[in-house]
Homo-oligomer: A and B are copies of this chain.
C-alpha cells in the first residue's frame, strides 16, 4: 500500500518547516502539497529561508507553494501550522470539504467538540470527532495538539495522575526563543536577558492541561479536578522548554513510587508502536543537575520526542512534590506532536 498524501498548511513558518523536515523520510506519509500566504506561487525551495541546519528536504524544493484553500487539493489529510487567526478561517474550510486537519494552531483547541490530544496521554479523546462531525456537518474534522509548554507537562503529569490525586499545579517555565516562531523575538529583546512574560501562554497552559487530563464522558470532556497556575518566562536559548513544577497532592507522596511511575510510563502511542513516538516517553534523570536544556532536549529514541524529568523531591511537606521537566518545544511541542497525533488517527482508522 502506498503512502498517504499529505498537505502542510503554513509550510514556510517555523513549525511548517519542521513538519516538512520530520516527514522527509516518513514511512506512512508523503508531503505532496504545501501552502503559505504571501509566498504562494513560488517553488518551496525559494519561498522558504530554512531555519534548520540541514535545510529544506531536497524533494520538496521544487514543489509550488499554493494558497491555503482546499480547492483542488489532492491529499488524504493536512497538517496545519497556520497562525491562529488564519487557522480560524481556513481549517473549517478543509474539514467541511472532507479533508481532515491535524492542527498545531491554537484556534480550535479549546472547542468542546475538538479533540486536543497527546497520544501518550489521552488517545481516547479522539472520539470527540464523532460529535464534532455531527454537529458541524463536516465530512472531515479538526484534531489538535497542545501548546509547546503544555505538552511536556501533561506527559509527566499523566503517570502521576494514575497513582495520586493532584490538587494544585504550579509551574514556572523557562522557554526557548524558537517557541516564538520566526522572525519571532528581536535579538535585542532577548540576548543577555530574561523576559518574564509570553503573551497568552499562561492561559493556554492553565486551560489545556485540564482538558487533556480530563475524562471523556458521554461524548464530551470533563475537566480534570485540580487547579493550575503558570508563570512563563523567555530565556536566551534556541530550543528546549524547561519547567519547574510544584504539586500539592491529596495523599502523602512516596518519591520512589513517583520515580517508578515516571520510568515505567507507557501510553497508547507505545502500545501501537507509532513511528514518531519514542520507546520511553518520560526519561527520569537521577543526577542532581539534570535535565539541562542543551544536553537533554534531543533525548529519546525518536530524537526530541521524549520528555526528561529530574530533581524529583518533596516540597514543603510530604503532600507536595517538586521536579523539573524538559521537552523540545518545536519537536515534541509542535511538529512531532502533530505528526504523532496524525499517526494515532491513522492507526485508529480516522485518516
**Interface residues of A, Cβ cutoff 8 Å to B:** 14, 50-54, 168, 170, 172, 174, 177-178, 182-197, 227-229, 231, 233, 235-238, 240, 242, 244, 246, 288-299, 310-311, 315-317, 320, 322, 324
Are A187 and B191 CB-contacts (below 8 A) given A174-B174, A324-B231? yes
Chain B residues near A168 (CB-CB < 8 A) = 316
B186–A183 CB distance below 8 A: yes
A231–B187 CB distance below 8 A: no
A235–B235 CB distance below 8 A: yes
Given A193-B293, A194-B242, 20 further pairs, Cβ under 8 A = A53-B294, A53-B295, A170-B170, A170-B246, A174-B174, A177-B191, A183-B188, A185-B186, A187-B190, A190-B191, A192-B192, A193-B292, A193-B294, A194-B235, A194-B237, A195-B292, A197-B288, A231-B311, A233-B244, A235-B236
Chain B residues near A177 (CB-CB < 8 A) = 187-188, 191
Chain B CB within 10 A, most for which of A184, A235, A288: A235
With both chains docked as a complex, state the minimum distance between the C-beta of A52 and any C-beta of chain B, in angstroms.
8
With both chains docked as a complex, state the minimum distance between the C-beta of A190 and any C-beta of chain B, in angstroms.
5
Closest B residue, CB atoms, query A325: B196
Closest B residue, CB atoms, query A235: B235
With both chains docked as a complex, state the minimum distance between the C-beta of A184 and any C-beta of chain B, in angstroms.
6
Copies of this chain: 4
Chain B residues near A185 (CB-CB < 8 A) = 186-188
A172 to B297 alpha-carbon distance, docked (Å): 21
With both chains docked as a complex, state the minimum distance between the C-beta of A279 and any C-beta of chain B, in angstroms.
15
A148 to B242 alpha-carbon distance, docked (Å): 23
A194 to B243 alpha-carbon distance, docked (Å): 10
Closest B residue, CB atoms, query A51: B188
With both chains docked as a complex, state the minimum distance between the C-beta of A234 and any C-beta of chain B, in angstroms.
9
B174–A184 CB distance below 8 A: no
Are A184 and B184 CB-contacts (below 8 A) given A316-B229, A320-B229? no
| Complex A-B: 11 CB contacts under 8 Å | A168-B316, A187-B190, A191-B294, A196-B290, A196-B292, A197-B311, A229-B322, A231-B244, A231-B322, A231-B324, A236-B237
A98 to B243 alpha-carbon distance, docked (Å): 49
Partner of A196, one of B170, B236, B242, B315: B242
Chain B CB within 10 A, most for which of A14, A51, A174, A290: A174
A235–B183 CB distance below 8 A: no
A236 to B242 alpha-carbon distance, docked (Å): 14
Closest B residue, CB atoms, query A295: B53
Chain B residues near A291 (CB-CB < 8 A) = 196
Are A193 and B289 CB-contacts (below 8 A) given A174-B174, A231-B246, A246-B229? no
A235–B174 CB distance below 8 A: yes
A229–B315 CB distance below 8 A: yes
A235 to B229 alpha-carbon distance, docked (Å): 22
A192–B238 CB distance below 8 A: yes
A296 to B50 alpha-carbon distance, docked (Å): 12
A186–B187 CB distance below 8 A: yes
With both chains docked as a complex, state the minimum distance between the C-beta of A108 and any C-beta of chain B, in angstroms.
26
A178 to B50 alpha-carbon distance, docked (Å): 24
A184 to B238 alpha-carbon distance, docked (Å): 18
